[in-house]
Structure 1
Amino acid sequence: MPEAIKEKARQELLRRLNQSIDPNDLSATLEAHRESNRASVIHQVPTHKSDPEVWRPNFLNRAPYRSGAPRPYEYRVTRDIQERDRSKQDTLAEFSETVAKTTNEDDAYQLKKMKDAALLVREQCAAADAELRNGQNYTRWTKFLHEHEKPLMAEIPEYDPKDRQTFFDLIRRVYHIIVREQKKAKTLGVLKGPGILKGMASPLLLLYSSVFRPLMSLKGGNDPEPWNRRPKNKGYSHREWFDLEITKFAEWMQLTPSEKAARAKLTETLLELVPRAAPDTGAEPFGSQVTGLTMPNSDIDIRIYEPNFNAPRQQDQEFADKEEKHAWQAQQRAEKKARMIAHLSKVQSHLEKHPDFDQIEITESYYPLVKAVHLPTRLKVQVVATKPSDSSREAIKSYLEELPHLKPLFLLMKTTLNLRGLSDPWHGGFGSYSLFMMCVVALKSAPLEPVKQKPFNSISDDFLYILKFWSRFDTSKKLLTIEPLGSCQKKLWATKEEIEASKTDFALSARLRLAKPVAYKPYLLALQDPADPINDLGRSGMAISDLQKTLRKLHRDLIENLEDPARKKNPSALLKGVVGRCDRFFDEMRIPVDLWGEQFVVEEEGVDGEGREEGNGEVEMEDGGGEGALS
């Protein structure tokens, strides 16, 4: 009986094959063969799309799960996203070609608006997908911390897509545990490499999806922004208008004489208080106060140091091996930190007795510091036990002289990041010095775009290029250097030639070290400090992907505004989407400083309110820019 059934099936198969064979047309034969054998094609069908009438064993409803691999549901989400994007990619490319070939300016702009609308829909879908993935990551990190952070440093709130501060705090805490366990494993003689914690943490554990950072919410008035100006000539171009706005914004951000006097008086008070509290120390201002890059919300930074302490010199020591040398170095660092904390404790006590200071606390971080708030001005002050910054200060001075647009564009970029929670390194952002050098490397890389035969870029050209440069640079693959200007591939191992050359070239040796991707965080920016080659200015910027996505959208929106033929009819500022109504944000800080500083202003001929006067080459907008909130 079974043989008869098999023979019948064989005859039926031969009959179907004979019907499918066309000796005169090979392609038709192949197509007919495929149609007659559809059952032999195996498709991967997700469970939720399967025929409900067909019974499937439970083990077929899920793929085997490997540690560190995406869950089956995540795989379906990723696969669906990829298929959806591929299906729309060709259509969008064809439409983009049509837009590029359109010669009529108005028609081209309308077509571009249609294209931007299509891109916006895609971005909204991508944002929803990113939120889903980030929520899943947040859950993993929460579970990881509950398992490995003993005791739990702080309670972990429920995932909030808008709370990126907590999001990056969790990444920092998880990474701290991973680094600690890596050090333990190496101490115990476990083989080195990124896989030493494979059982504890997948190498992909700290990857995340980037999101656009909107402006912080801040209600404004009906008056136009102080920088909302138009050129006087009626035939002005959009670029001339944008140049003027950026220039007026930078002027408005400059300190007034009263603000300068207030900061100078407060600095003088601290410089007298520190050595009086700790007689074995000296004090000096550092940071934006000495570089000329002070903003209305900048802290007052004072460096405390030991001018008369003679530390043991490494050259005078003898070490049996590298381990003994490293142990001695660690001991010296620990002893110095303990001494500086003792000095700072005395400074803390004196500040607590002073009637003008409040909210005083000491932080025993890598560089210990005392923080306080000056009550009359509400300015924040910091007394920090940090290393000298002479080389950094000289580098800043040199670049400010070399690049005339650097200072105003730094002020604009700093404000842009500040209003989006991207300027605090503790929460994954970028500090002032790192951002300054990011502006430097972009401006030094900018190609010349002569306007009206002038051999230099306008300030708006340079600003747009900074946005474009940092929105496109692949931080996961390349390292950036300023001296010399350039980039090189990130890699784990240097070549023999590079190793040999690095023995006599400290900058190259440092560059090879910085070029190694950071385990678990390969996306970090690697930017070599020109003043200190071993210093990586991007090492704390975990939010680099958020920054790049934000700058990418700002660049696209600005280009759209600058190409809009009807944009001049809109009374709002071109910078509205970049800095919004930040004048309200800064005025709350500036007014008490300005009022307190008036009593210390030295009357001199030619001193006036810097940054507040109106220029002669522009007209003030009578209306616009007061639509309620930053968004």
Structure 2
Amino acid sequence: MHSSRARLICRSTNPFTPSIALWQHFVLLNRHSLRQQRAHNSTETPSPYPFIGANTLPFIRAVDEADVASPAPSKVQELSIRKISKNNQNKWRGGQPKPRVVNARNPTPWDEDKPNSPVSILIKTNKEIETRGDYEGQYMTPMGGPHQFQAKREHLPWVLQPDRVSTSITGMQRLDMEIERFHEYATPSRTEALARRHLIDQVTSHVHRISRHMELEVFGSERTGLALATSDIDLRLTNVSAAESPPNSHDPRLPPPHFQRQRLVDRLHTLTAKLSRLPEYDACTVVYARYPLLTVLDIASGLEVQIVSSNDTSFARATMQKYMDEYPFIRQVYSVVKTMFEIRGLSDTFRGGFGSYPIFMMIVASIVHCPEARRPKTSGEGLKHFLVFWSDIKLDKMGISIEPAEFYDKDSQAPMSGKARAKLAKTPSKRPSFYMSLRDPADPTNDLGRKGHAIKHVQATLRKLSGQLMINLNQTDLDSLLTPIVGPVYSLNRGRRMRL
């Protein structure tokens, strides 16, 4: 039996059907991929907004461009990032790229092939040190794409709106306000903190399922409260049993002995084999360092988790807390400095950069070595003094001590253990003079700058940023004092933070 009414057929090359809109709202969230419906004879390029009419597209694009020219991935794109098989981690649905961490180890696509990108410069630096033992420091430009990928400055969370800026405030007062607003932006929101806590619980649960003898402990910036919203999560793989770790067998502040270290490394390999089979993770890799670690990328959040076979960090944590209590503005300064290093590839410890703990102690050193009368009292003064102190200090002969606040001859008094000093006496191997020597106040035998051969790039960068800030503090028509320092961090992290 046929209908007595003739069926209306749209001959448009981009027809609208109500079923598509209903499908989008009620069915799409349970689907892994979606194709735009259009006529089979159409040669028109598929629209990035398949469910919106052609007359509405110009308005949508205008809204996107007004906010930021590089929009965050849509829910359709986010949901299409799924593994097809546990056994093949390189196959992804929808042809979408794997979620990636934007830093020096995982640069953005437009940074990988640039000769002046942080990654290229650090690789070139390593080669020059191997061949001739030295290199020329240069200003490190922030990672980021072409101009169309940058957000407008008036949309940045830390930029003060013109109607809220009083003409009577000084440049330093404005810098204080921007740093405080940036700290609020950079640290995890309530939702992001819950997402990070959920990931910690998830990894801990999976590790316990693999072996009930393995215990994980949160440490690092996540434990001290200094973590940024997109910071890696550090978990310490603790001793598995009292039999393998007799009490008082060694100083807990020192690295574990060889036999215990080997057992921990074996367990890292066990975790790598097991976690790589789970659909929640990708890029499980064991990295060999002074403290071997396992890096795992969580697919859902895009956060990187590091499981480290490190020593006890409670004493270092207490030392950091003491300085944060004495100088409350250190937290705000750290958020800016950490971002400044990270956005320029200078926090990549695998290529000669500086990690979170050395950066924190560099800030402390710049404060305690300032005369009492001129010691910073606000975050703006702290940032300004940090830039000036580390750009001007001569590192070829002297090292820096925090407790007590003094300088020492780094050739004869360099921080190291007695065993390392005895070995050095037998087989002298002079380290290049440009290396920074910073004595760890929590462990006098630990030199926080012994592997930071990018220090000349750090000083060149801080020298330029310091001079630029001094000029900008006297300007009244600038959009922001802080944006030249932190770079395009908002654009680079916008998509990742939306996923959290």
* TM score, norm. by length of structure 2: 0.68
Change beyond 3 A, Cα 1:312–1:301 = closer
Query: 1-side partners of 2:449 and 2:494: how far apart?
Result: 31
CA deviation string 1:335-386 (max 9, x = no partner): 3333122212222233123221112222343322222111110111111111
Q: CA deviation at 1:520?
A: 3.8
Aligned to 2:276, what secondary structure does the other structure show?
helix
Q: CA deviation at 1:170?
A: 2.7
Query: 2-side partners of 1:305 and 1:458: how far apart?
Result: 38
Change beyond 3 A, Cα 1:388–1:315 = closer
Hey, what does 1:576 align to over in structure 2? 483
Query: 1-side partners of 2:413 and 2:189: how far apart?
Result: 52
Structure 1 stretches lacking a partner, 5+ long: 1-156, 175-200, 318-328, 495-505, 594-631
CA deviation string 1:447-471 (max 9, x = no partner): 4567xxxx96332222111000000
Q: CA deviation at 1:415?
A: 0.5
RCO higher in 1 or 2 (8 Å CA, sep ≥ 6)? 1
Q: CA deviation at 1:411?
A: 0.7
Q: 2:439·2:445 contact (CA, 8 Å) conserved in 1?
A: yes
1:560 to 468, 471, 492: 471
Out of 240-249 and 543-552, give the one that drifted further. 240-249
Query: 1-side partners of 2:324 and 2:245: how far apart?
Result: 38
Hey, what does 1:491 align to over in structure 2? 411
Q: 2:178·2:482 contact (CA, 8 Å) conserved in 1?
A: yes
2:326 to 402, 409, 416: 402
Q: CA deviation at 1:588?
A: 2.0
2:495 paired with 1:588: yes
Aligned to 1:370, what secondary structure does the other structure show?
strand
AA of the residue aligned to 1:168: T
Q: 1:275·1:282 contact (CA, 8 Å) conserved in 2?
A: yes
Change beyond 3 A, Cα 1:491–1:293 = same
Q: 1:406·1:439 contact (CA, 8 Å) conserved in 2?
A: yes
2:137 paired with 1:217: no
Q: 2:144·2:492 contact (CA, 8 Å) conserved in 1?
A: no
2:383 paired with 1:463: yes
Query: 1-side partners of 2:482 and 2:334: how far apart?
Result: 15
2:336 to 405, 412, 417: 412
Q: CA deviation at 1:333?
A: 4.1
Hey, what does 1:528 align to over in structure 2? 439
Hey, what does 1:549 align to over in structure 2? 460
Q: CA deviation at 1:508?
A: 11
Query: 2-side partners of 1:282 and 1:530: how far apart?
Result: 28
AA of the residue aligned to 1:221: A
CA deviation string 1:377-430 (max 9, x = no partner): 011111111111111111111111111110100110001111111001111111
Hey, what does 1:45 align to over in structure 2? none
Number of corresponding residues? 376
2:440 paired with 1:519: no
1:280-299 equivalence runs, <5 A:
280-299=213-232
Structure 2 stretches lacking a partner, 5+ long: 1-111
1:217-616 equivalence runs, <5 A:
217-218=144-145, 219-222=149-152, 223-229=154-160, 232-311=165-244, 333-447=257-371, 457-492=377-412, 519-563=430-474, 567-570=475-478, 572-593=479-500
Hey, what does 1:87 align to over in structure 2? none
Aligned to 1:479, what secondary structure does the other structure show?
strand
Query: 1-side partners of 2:165 and 2:289: how far apart?
Result: 53
Q: 2:137·2:460 contact (CA, 8 Å) conserved in 1?
A: yes
Change beyond 3 A, Cα 1:293–1:526 = same
Aligned to 1:270, what secondary structure does the other structure show?
helix
Change beyond 3 A, Cα 1:315–1:449 = closer
AA of the residue aligned to 1:463: L
Q: CA deviation at 1:550?
A: 0.7
Q: 1:449·1:457 contact (CA, 8 Å) conserved in 2?
A: no
Q: 1:228·1:573 contact (CA, 8 Å) conserved in 2?
A: yes
Paired-residue identity, %: 27
Q: 1:477·1:489 contact (CA, 8 Å) conserved in 2?
A: yes
- Bigger CA radius of gyration: 1
Query: 2-side partners of 1:247 and 1:488: how far apart?
Result: 35
Name the Cα RMSD after superposition: 3.4
AA of the residue aligned to 2:348: D
1:170 to 127, 138, 145: 127
Change beyond 3 A, Cα 1:251–1:493 = closer
Query: 1-side partners of 2:441 and 2:259: how far apart?
Result: 29
Query: 2-side partners of 1:316 and 1:582: how far apart?
Result: 45
Query: 2-side partners of 1:518 and 1:576: how far apart?
Result: 42
Query: 1-side partners of 2:114 and 2:488: how far apart?
Result: 29
AA of the residue aligned to 2:123: T
Change beyond 3 A, Cα 1:507–1:421 = closer
Q: 1:423·1:429 contact (CA, 8 Å) conserved in 2?
A: yes
AA of the residue aligned to 1:457: K
Aligned to 1:569, what secondary structure does the other structure show?
coil
AA of the residue aligned to 1:569: D
AA of the residue aligned to 1:385: S
Aligned to 1:366, what secondary structure does the other structure show?
coil
AA of the residue aligned to 1:417: F
Hey, what does 2:42 align to over in structure 1? none
Aligned to 1:359, what secondary structure does the other structure show?
strand
Q: 2:295·2:306 contact (CA, 8 Å) conserved in 1?
A: yes
AA of the residue aligned to 1:164: I
Q: CA deviation at 1:211?
A: 0.8
Query: 1-side partners of 2:226 and 2:421: how far apart?
Result: 31
AA of the residue aligned to 2:174: W
AA of the residue aligned to 2:337: M
Change beyond 3 A, Cα 1:523–1:344 = same
Q: 1:273·1:350 contact (CA, 8 Å) conserved in 2?
A: no
Hey, what does 1:91 align to over in structure 2? none
CA deviation string 1:275-298 (max 9, x = no partner): 331333221111111100011221
